Amino acid sequence: MDRQPLGESSAKRLRRYDPVDQLLLKEYGQRLEFLDREEAPTLSSSKTVFVVGQMRALTAFASDPRCGVAENILRQINYFVQAEAGSSSKVSQTVAYVRETFLRKVVIVCVPEAATRNNNSARPDAVSKALMKFPQFTGMDDEPFGVYALGYTAEDALVTAMAVGRAAHRLNLNSERAVRVGDPSESFVVVWSAEGRPPHLGRRGKLELVVDNIRMAALLTEMPTNQLNTTTYIRAIEGVAGRLRDRFGADIGLEVIKAQELERRGFGGLWNVGKACTANPPALVVLSCNASNAKPDDKSIVLVGKGIVYDTGGLALKTKDGMMGMKTDMGGSAGLLGAFAALVETKAIVNKSLYFIGCLAENSIGPDSYRHGDIIEMYSGLTVEINNTDCEGRLVLADGVAYAAKHLNPELIIDMATLTYAQGVATGLSHGAIFSNCADIEKKAFEAGRRSGDLVFPVLFCPEVHKPQLHS
């Protein structure tokens, strides 16, 4: 059968549920609520139930008289544990067992126990990878589902629960997916460990707040550029600021410097990269928390994100294959916007000012494109000769970092960027690269990544050797 175009009513519903609006309301796609083990019976009404963990956690869960799991689900877990007892698969590969009964579908995902020192022992990477194969996690199935996130230790259980959240996509614009016209469904994740109750759970607990913002960052990164350009991205950031003020009573400030105001104020890097896109000009967006009462000598923490909403490569035009996926070149800013919101919502930083700086631009082509051989003046006052317009990320970030250094008295600056050439080769596709002038920060970042499952690994910091290679 030939596929027919969307009817007007369907088109209206798509317009009505614009992803940016839904993002601002935090209502797009599946909502996840994290529950304590005592609330496990809540999952009894779910048509599909996932049980996720390593073999030792599955075994302990099945023998726990307080787990509260429905009898028919427990029966399937026991059957799986007995069938897999002694199998080498429990330590070498992920095993997924699917069983449908007249009441519900039960999916048991057993992830490997083998992990090296550069990974988390609970293998959250395997958890997310396995769950993303199921329609409930890709957005193709809007029915509510339940998940038992298991860990032998409390920390393992929390990491497994975070991996469940990472796997649950919030954006799916596939025309074969039913357009939801009512409120999105709510799915539940019960977090269980053999040690007892993991901390920071319950409705709007810290785990739920962090996962909400991980998923918000993923949603932003997945949005196509015809929906998330610099103009609508500013609108999304304004919505996040409003939510933090209204729902959490946070002291949030917002400043937007955009278009030719960037040029007038000396942001030569950001302005030149984005000036060719006249429909949606570049912008520097600054969010602050706890800054209104800060004294001039008070130290701050600043998050600076690369927000290239689309990267054609500029006049150094990418190939058609190289340009695929370039909507994600703003992932650094999305990740740090989510981090800013999570830090505010969990009140993790209360005695310092916290800032987010989004360096937003589209690296496009037009009559005003910056060119190879151009010499531009950055916000820092330094001049830069352009020898590759497809190396735009360092230009926009340099202006953001220089602004932070000049005006915000930072104790720590963290900048984040995507698609930085050799990083994918140096540390692979599963580990981000940490490049730091502070050995202590480098060590803490590595450990935080290992413990949370957001893996990172240090790359060589030796500017006295490398800087002469960049001489112009």
Active site residues: 318, 394
* Helices 331-345 & 206-222 angle (0-180, nearest 10): 160
The three-state secondary structure class of 97 is strand
- Asked if residue 359 lies in contact with residue 400, where contact means CB atoms within 8 angstroms, the answer is yes
Which token pair is 431?
Answer: 């580990």
Do the Cβ atoms of 250 and 200 come closer than 8 Å?
no
- In sequence order, which ranges of 152-305 are alpha helices (DSSP H)? 154-167, 206-222, 230-248, 260-264, 268-274
Distance CA 371, CA 401 (A): 23
Contact 343/248 with Cβ under 8 angstroms? Answer: no
The whole-angstrom separation of Cα 330 and Cα 432 is 15
Q: Where are the alpha helices (DSSP H) in 391-432?
A: 393-407, 423-426
Nearest CA to 394 out of 420, 431, 412, 424 is that of 420
Taking Cα atoms as reference points, which of 442, 447, 471 lies closest to residue 459? 442
**CB neighbour burial string for 44-69, b if at least 16 within 10 angstroms, e if fewer:** eebebbbbbbbbebbbbbbeeeebbb
Two tokens at 210?
């962090």
C-alpha distance from residue 64 to each of 82, 97, 152, 196, 405 (Å): 16, 21, 12, 11, 54
Q: Report yes or no: 458 and 436 within 8 Å, Cβ to Cβ.
A: yes
Q: Coil, helix or strand for 411?
A: strand
Secondary structure in 3-state letters for 13-69: HHHHCCHHHHHHHCCCCCEEEEECHHHHHHHHHCCEEEEEEEHHHHHHHHCCCCCCC
d(CA 430, CA 278): 36
Cα–Cα distances in Å, from 167 out to 82, 132, 139, 162, 163? 28, 6, 10, 9, 6
Q: How far apart are CA 60 and CA 367, in angstroms?
A: 65
